[in-house]
Amino acid sequence: MRILPEPGAARILTVATLIQTIGRGVWLTVSALFLTRSVGLSIAQVGFGLTLIALISLVASAPTGYLADRYGPRGIQITALIASGMCIAALTMVRSFPSFLAFAVCSAMADAALRGSRGAIIAGSVPPDQRVRTRAYLRSTTNLGIAVGALLAGVGIAFDTRPAYLALLLFDAAARVAAGGVLTRLDPIPPVPAPKHGPRLIALRDRPFLAFTLLDGLMSMHFSILNIALPLWIAQHTAAPNWLVSVLVLVNTTMVVAFQVPVSKGTEELSGAARAARRAGLAIAAACVIFATSGFVSTPVIVALLLIAGAFVHVLGELWHAASGWGISFGLAPAHAQGQYQGAYAMGGQVGGMLAPVVITTLAVEWGVPGWLVLGALFLGIGALVPPVTRWAASA
């Protein structure tokens, strides 16, 4: 795989994504510690604020996507990145829960604008047959950037002082603004005139597309297997050492960086993308069975090998799932409404992210082996439903 895509819009987007996600990796690693240890918020207050960000971003994704269509996604994306950087910089002055909530609202709106314009900026700057490939590059780059950001954050966390946390947050803010600066090198993307008749937010009225979005969002619950279910499963139900979680994360990150682009081949068309979704459900279901099997084995080495094998199968399903979602969401969206359709598509992942902690922990951790099997059957069924729903949406 090439380290960077060919010169042009795809390369500019990749470089901007790398810069932005290095900052995001810092934020994901340090935010909870900063808010509790330096600002003095309780865990419940931090959780409430982060949930508020997720809810506002969910509701605002499609409307901000509509704005990206009407006013041009490049300008919306750059503005959102600068606003996001300013929000993070302002967080360094937060000293109370009310001021944290004010930050949460501003940050959520900027995040919604980023989500709503991301797909539209790809659709407007990259040829149709290269859109899925470009998103694959961006996803690989995102994983790499977050990993680098997490390593940088680890250096600051080692000091565990307010100046160190503030320096990390300001680094994140600067990275977001710098990413916006890189995007100014993109050619302007002309806005698309709104239809003269009918509703404006047509994505939220497109029932077949929303059905696909819901299925894709439910499928996205599998992302929580790695960072929520497996750490608890390993600690409570297996003979494997707890540090094996780090190995599984490394397997996942490495595979995504190395193989997201080649695995995405063939998903540019709706039929190929729908088949990839079915394969994703099958692979994730198989991984659930392998993880369940690890609960029956008492030999640590064999348990570790089973868990690593399951992680490989799971990430293969993850790669197919990601590629299928991009191909279908781009393929079903009208040319004049890519922004709002991509914003609506992003809502599915946000819904899945909110449901996943309860669903995944209840089934995989509390129910144990039977829960893993139920979880596998759920993903298998979701993957099987995507092709007929895609055909329905394409013919509507």
Residue type for 129, please?
Answer: D
Q: Which residue has the higher pLDDT, 321 or 231?
A: 321
Q: Is 201 helix (H, G, I), strand (E, B) or coil?
A: coil
Find tokens 């659709």 and name the residue: 123
Q: Is 188 helix (H, G, I), strand (E, B) or coil?
A: coil
Return mean pLDDT, the chain: 92
Q: Which residue has the higher pLDDT, 198 or 206?
A: 206
Q: What is the pLDDT of residues 233-258, one digit of tens each?
A: 998 999 999 889 888 988 998 999 99
Q: What is the pLDDT of residues 288-336, one digit of tens each?
A: 999 999 999 999 999 999 999 999 999 999 999 999 999 999 999 998 8
Residues 103-135 as b or e (16 or more Cβ within 10 Å = b)? bbebbbbbbbbbbbbbbbbbbbbbeeebbbbbb
pLDDT band at 3 (very low <50, low <70, confident <90, very high): low
Work out the average pLDDT over 272-295.
97
What pLDDT does residue 61 have?
Answer: 87
Other Cβ atoms closer than 10 A to 207: 11
Most confident region among 43-52, 152-161, 323-332 by mean pLDDT:
323-332
As a whole number of angstroms, the distance between CA 395 and CA 168 comes to: 50
Q: What's the Rg (C-alpha) of the chain? A: 21
Work out the average pLDDT over 108-114.
91
- Burial class of 210 by CB neighbour count within 10 A (0 to 12, 13 to 18, 19+): middle
With a cut of 60, say whether residue 141 has pLDDT above it: yes
Percent of the chain exceeding pLDDT 90 equals 69
With a cut of 60, say whether residue 211 has pLDDT above it: yes
pLDDT band at 2 (very low <50, low <70, confident <90, very high): low
Q: Give the range among 182-186, 205-209, 355-359, 368-372 with minimum mean pLDDT.
A: 355-359
Query: In the 8-state DSSP scheme, what is residue 129?
Result: G
pLDDT band at 115 (very low <50, low <70, confident <90, very high): confident
Work out the average pLDDT over 13-23.
96
Work out the average pLDDT over 79-108.
93
Reduce the secondary structure of the chain to three states and give it as a string: CCCCCCCCHHHHHHHHHHHHHHHHHHHHHHHHHHHHHHCCCCHHHHHHHHHHHHHHHHHHHHHHHHHHHHHCHHHHHHHHHHHHHHHHHHHCCCCCHHHHHHHHHHHHHHHHHHHHHHHHHHHHHCCHHHHHHHHHHHHHHHHHHHHHHHHHHHHHHHHCCHHHHHHHHHHHHHHHHHHHHHHCCCCCCCCCCCCCCCCCCHHHHCHHHHHHHHHHHHHHHHHHHHHHHHHHHHHHHCCCCCCHHHHHHHHHHHHHHHHHHHHCCCCCCHHHHHHHHHHHHHHHHHHHHHHHHHHHCCCHHHHHHHHHHHHHHHHHHHHHHHHHHHHHHHHHCCHHHHHHHHHHHHHHHHHHHHHHHHHHHHHHHHCCHHHHHHHHHHHHHHHHHHHHHHHHHHHC
224 CB contacts (<8 Å, ≥6 apart)? 353, 356, 357, 360
Decide if 353 contacts 61 (C-beta within 8 A). Answer: no
With a cut of 70, say whether residue 198 has pLDDT above it: no
With a cut of 90, say whether residue 396 has pLDDT above it: no
What pLDDT does residue 6 have?
Answer: 81
What pLDDT does residue 55 have?
Answer: 86
What pLDDT does residue 89 have?
Answer: 95
Decide if 294 contacts 301 (C-beta within 8 A). Answer: no
Cut 0.75: pTM above it: yes
285 CB contacts (<8 Å, ≥6 apart)? 376, 377, 379, 380, 383
Q: Give the range among 36-40, 53-57, 323-327 with minimum mean pLDDT.
A: 53-57
Q: What is the pLDDT of residues 22-36, one digit of tens each?
A: 999 999 888 888 998
